[in-house]
């Protein structure tokens, strides 16, 4: 009984697997080139195709060629195969896809892979403006030029295949063909080595030799000419606050100086006025008397008010009039 159940389960799994294969659920294969998709003239390259362990055969399709372009049996792991190219030439350059065959049928094609041969023509010249050492955020321009009438130029950054630019060539009167690649605002992500190539429009996978390498160095140092509006506003606010604080301190110091001088002036005027009042009262209270009949000796008397004399503490109600002899003069 157990053996019968095992057999039925086995056949059920096989049937389910074949149904999945027929429904197009086979893993999509992956294609890549080793050591890379850009190969110099006469250098070897291997094209790899990885699919499923159920694969019985792997097939390589090349655009504009007879389908299939090549066939290979899977390796021991059966989930991949390799296609050897011993010497890279222009005939191997192109766009490739791979797929595999199982007992249930064929898988779908892999994504396209572009295999490029370099070194077909002489190398173009590469330069950069304003300088290979720039500050983050500034615009720069790469100029790629050649004396050959190449239809397109391509600028790449080594190690970063996603940073690639392609432009149609321009023609000058001196028979020079060129393209100018403008980067509006560079960042530290652009640090690295740049090269440019040229190719003809009817053969886009056959490139020239590489231009001279150009190393770009982008500094993160901020430049006032390229500060963002937010940074500029914050800087302006700091300067404005500093100016206002300095102005307020100067204002309070000036006000304190004015108040000090004013108080000193008031005290001085008050002291002068007190002295003047004392002198006026003394002059007014001293009345010179000169009785001609009673003083034959010509003695001069002055009447002094009691407020200028000491008061008797025992008798405050009695006013004392005292005549003080001021001076004597000889009788005429």
Predicted pLDDT of residue 13: 40
Determine the Cα–Cα distance for residues 210 and 194; give it in Å rounded to an integer.
10
Cβ-Cβ contacts under 8 Å for 231 (sequence gap 6 or more): 222
Separation between Cα atoms, residue 170 and residue 216, nearest integer Å: 24
Q: What pLDDT does residue 282 have?
A: 53
Residue with tokens 């300088």: 131
Q: What is the DSSP string of 154-166?
A: EEEETTEEEEEEE
Token pair for residue 23? 């429904």
72 within 8 A of 83, measured Cβ to Cβ: yes
| DSSP-derived secondary structure for 4-45 | HHHHHHHHHHHHHHHHHHHTT-SPPPEEEEES-SEEETT--E
Closest by CA position to 60, among listed 122, 21, 20, 113: 113
Does the pTM of the predicted model rise above 0.85?
no
- In order, the DSSP letters of 226-239 are G--HHHHHHHHHHH
Question: Which parts of the chain register pLDDT below 70?
Answer: 1-24, 221-233, 236, 270-332
Report which secondary-structure segment, H or E, holds 263.
helix 229-285
Q: Hunting for tokens 């799994």 — which residue is that?
A: 13
pLDDT attached to residue 45: 98
For residue 34, the cross-strand partners are 46
Looking up tokens 């002291």, which residue turns up?
Answer: 271
Q: What is the pLDDT of residues 83-141, one digit of tens each?
A: 999 999 999 999 999 999 999 999 999 999 999 999 999 999 999 999 999 999 999 99
Over residues 185-196, the pLDDT tens digits come to 999 999 999 999
Identify the pLDDT of residue 257.
85
pLDDT of residue 32: 97
């Amino acid at each position: 009984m157990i053996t019968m159940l095992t057999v039925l389960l086995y056949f059920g799994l096989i049937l389910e697997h074949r149904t999945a294969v027929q429904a197009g659920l086979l893993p999509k294969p992956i294609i890549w080139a080793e050591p890379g998709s850009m190969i110099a003239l006469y250098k070897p390259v291997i094209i790899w195709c990885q699919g499923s362990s159920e694969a019985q055969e792997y097939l390589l399709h090349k655009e504009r060629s007879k389908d299939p372009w090549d066939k290979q049996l899977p390796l021991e792991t059966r989930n991949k195969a390799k296609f050897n190219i011993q010497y890279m030439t222009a005939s191997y350059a192109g766009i490739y896809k791979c797929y595999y065959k199982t007992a249930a049928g064929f898988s779908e094609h892999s994504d396209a892979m572009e295999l490029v041969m370099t070194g077909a023509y002489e190398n173009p010249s590469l330069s950069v403006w304003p300088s290979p050492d720039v500050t983050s955020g500034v615009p720069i321009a790469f100029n790629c030029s050649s004396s050959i009438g190449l239809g397109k130029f391509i600028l790449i950054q080594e190690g970063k295949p996603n940073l690639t630019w392609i432009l149609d060539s321009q023609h000058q009167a001196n028979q020079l063909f060129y393209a100018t690649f403008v980067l509006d605002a560079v960042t530290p992500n652009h640090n690295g080595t740049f090269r440019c190539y040229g190719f003809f429009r009817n053969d886009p996978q056959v490139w020239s030799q590489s231009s001279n390498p150009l190393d770009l160095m982008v500094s993160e140092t901020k430049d006032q000419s390229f500060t963002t509006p937010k940074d500029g506003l914050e800087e302006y606010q700091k300067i404005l606050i500093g100016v206002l604080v300095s102005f307020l301190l100067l204002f309070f110091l000036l006000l304190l100086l004015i108040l000090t001088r004013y108080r000193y002036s008031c005290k001085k005027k008050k002291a002068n006025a007190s002295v003047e009042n004392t002198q006026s009262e003394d002059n007014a209270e001293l009345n010179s008397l000169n009785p001609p009949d009673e003083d034959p000796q010509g003695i001069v008397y002055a009447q002094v008010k009691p407020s200028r004399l000491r008061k008797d503490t025992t008798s405050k109600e009695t006013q004392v009039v005292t005549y003080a002899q001021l001076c004597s003069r000889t009788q005429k």
